[in-house]
Amino acid sequence: MKIIFLKNTGQLLAKLLEQEHSLQSDLWLMDLSPLTLHPEDTSSTNQSLNWGDGVRCSLLTEQALCKLHLPQKFHSWWTMELLVNVRKWIEENKAAFLPPVCNKLMHRHQLNVMFVGGPNERKDYHIEEGEELFYQVKGDMCLKIIENGKQKDIFIREGEMFLLPARIPHSPQRYTDTVGLVIERERLKTEIDGLRYYVEESTNVLFEKWFHCEDLGTQLTPIIQEFFNSRQYKTGKPNPDELLKETPFPLNSACVMEPFSFQGWLKDHRREIKQKQSLSIFGDNFETEVIAYGPGTTEKSKSNSDIWIWQLVLLEKRRRMCCSLHCSGSKTQAALYLVSVPVDIDEKNFNLLMSS
């Protein structure tokens, strides 16, 4: 994996691409295999960064836009926008945040990154074999789940984070003028998802469909419409002939965590992060890695997986900082080096790394 980065006052802008699929968010990395890129440290006022071999990355604005320019010999790549202003992107795609699903994929590859709007109060429960990371950007939401055979409501407030374990039926309820970030991994070809409706307030299955998920935003809508047109919907009674005798995989019986304030977690663990340079947010009990990095240099080895990095700084203080990312390694293993150097000792500077 090879990495490029951009930086300006108070912000680090970067991207990651794997197999010609782009990531778009506040901070990403980019895979430009077979190139190995070593950007020079430039001031925040520079308008372009050069890596040699004709590869150049130029700033369009100081907000969140840049373009990658590649020479003709790299014909498999093209000039494209790498970074977007997230708020502007949400506004431009607000028509996509419509019932019954209300989500829009920003990136789809090994990690699926989406934003979800509202209002959207649903009766269906989704089941998948991977985990889901929730972070509420604006407003609150309620995530209804089936925990140990009982219905339970998980309220995720603005600024709170929650990691849903795999194989737990869940139904997100979203309200007007809210926005949430949801990240999940790509499904394996052998994995399937399930969509279920339950009889009234019970956990007895009324209707279910199982399918291999490639694009949840487009695949759920016809299944939901099929349910609305079904006899089960009209009568409220299941058809035993259409229900599986046994689910494709056992459902998870674990008890879920409580959502928590992400900024509060950083504040409580600030000293530990500073001492250790990095700290896992959810521990080793999940397949999803979510790690907070403090000032310093960290080496992280990964292979064949997307890595999402979100740079967190106190922008209101308008302090300059220097943060760089670079990567080296072979096709089988890559070493990620994350360097974060605050301008002064009081700068509160963290990096959040998530991969699966």
121, 238: one domain: yes
Are 70 and 108 in a shared domain? no
149-163 in b/e form (b: 16+ CB < 10 A) is eeeeebebeebbbbb
Amino acid occupying residue 324: S
Residue 104 pairs in a beta bridge with: 115
169 and 309 assigned to the same domain? no
Residue 233 and residue 121 share a domain = yes
Q: Would you state the pLDDT for residue 196?
A: 98
Confidence label for 303 from pLDDT (cuts 50, 70 and 90): low
Q: Quick check: is 353 in a domain? A: no
307 inside domain: yes
Tokens (6 digits) for 16: 């990651």
For the chain, the average pLDDT equals 70
Does residue 203 sit within a domain? yes
pLDDT score at 131 = 95
What distances in angstroms separate CA 56 from CA 50, 67, 175, one per listed residue?
5, 9, 43
pTM confidence score: 0.71
At 171-225, the pLDDT tens digits run: 999 998 898 989 898 899 999 999 999 999 899 999 999 999 987 778 888 999 9
Question: Does 248 map to a domain?
Answer: no
Give yes or no: residues 105 and 234 share one domain.
yes
CA-to-CA dists, residue 2 to 76, 87, 326, angstroms: 16, 28, 7
Same domain as 109, residue 238: yes
Do 110 and 73 lie in a common domain?
no
> Which CATH number does the domain housing residue 167 bear?
2.60.120.10
Residues 102 and 67 in one domain: no
The answer to whether the annotation marks 319 as part of a ligand binding site is no
* Highest mean pLDDT pick, 31-45, 98-112, 239-253: 239-253
Choice between 327 and 294, residue whose per-residue pLDDT is larger: 294
Sign, CA torsion 139/143/144/147 = negative
**81-115 pLDDT, tens digit each:** 445 566 777 788 888 877 766 888 877 777 888 88
Domain coverage including residue 75: 4-84+299-321+341-348
Examine the domain organization and report whether 60 and 108 are in the same domain. Answer: no
Instruction: Check whether 122 is labelled as a binding-site residue.
Output: yes
pLDDT at 218: 80
Give the residue with greater pLDDT, 61 vs 258: 258
Q: Give the range among 8-12, 51-55, 243-247, 259-263 with minimum mean pLDDT.
A: 8-12
User: Any known ligand binding at 174?
Assistant: yes
Q: Say if residue 269 carries a ligand binding annotation.
A: no
Instruction: Please count the structural domains in the chain.
Output: 2
Considering the domain architecture, whether residues 72 and 126 belong to the same structural domain is answered as no
CA–CA separation, 213 and 227 (whole Å): 18
Is residue 78 domain-resident? yes
Q: Is the pLDDT of residue 10 over 90?
A: no
Is 212 annotated as a binding-site member? no
If asked whether residues 107 and 44 sit together in one domain, one would say no
Can you give the pLDDT at residue 9? 25
